[in-house]
Amino acid sequence: MAGSASVLTDNSTLSRADQKLQKLEIVLTTFGGIIIFLLVFLATANILGRWIFSAPISGYIDWVEQFMAFFAFLGIAYTQRNGGHIRMDILVSALHGRALWISEFISTLLMFLLTLVLIYGSYLHFLRAYTIGDSSIDIKLPTWPSKLVVTVALTLLAVRLLLQLWAYIRAIKEGGDTPVAVPLIEDAATVAANEAKAIAGDDIIAKPGDQK
């Protein structure tokens, strides 16, 4: 499963909620990308400073450690929306209609429950760091912002999973193979066709099951 093109939309309340949430996910994912970009510059400056002036950036490791949480977690809900997380589709891809959506509903429900546990644990971790004034070893950067971003990102993931549970319930009721607001399983031919079109700059995206 990969690519936002495999998520269908319509004019329903469910689809509108999906698209509104996607806008927030895109903003956070973009911010995570900017953090990566800035860390590349920081690493370059650190290397050049050490090599040319024998003066590396003070606290370089501390900065990298704190900002890792931003680019590692801010895109987690966006990736879930687009079906980009690694998963095994060997058995699931053989299912169709209600059987497929029941299977997806169960796996999404389990993921949602696990995410709730992680939200609780990460929040306690953040609260402890904030309360005791925990900081990095070298330049004493506060650690609570990076721990808070984990809780925020997981909370957004939980909202995304709730929306997908709603979508799977609707899909179970209606049947069919093309529900909205959930990533559709793409076969190898569809994935290859979409990748080729993306490279060529073609706006026409193949949907699962399309015949070429």
Nearest to 73 by CA among 23, 130, 142, 122: 122
What's the pLDDT at 177?
A: 84
Q: How many CB atoms lie within 10 A of CB 35?
A: 17
Per-10-residue mean pLDDT of the chain, 212 residues long, equals 65 95 97 95 95 92 94 95 82 84 95 98 97 94 96 98 97 90 76 70 55 45
DSSP 183: B
Q: What is the pTM of this model?
A: 0.86
φ, ψ for residue 201, nearest 5 deg: 80, 20
What's the pLDDT at 2?
A: 42
What's the pLDDT at 1?
A: 42
Do residues 134 and 128 touch, judged by C-beta distance below 8 A?
Answer: yes
d(CA 210, CA 12): 24
Residue with tokens 């979409």: 194
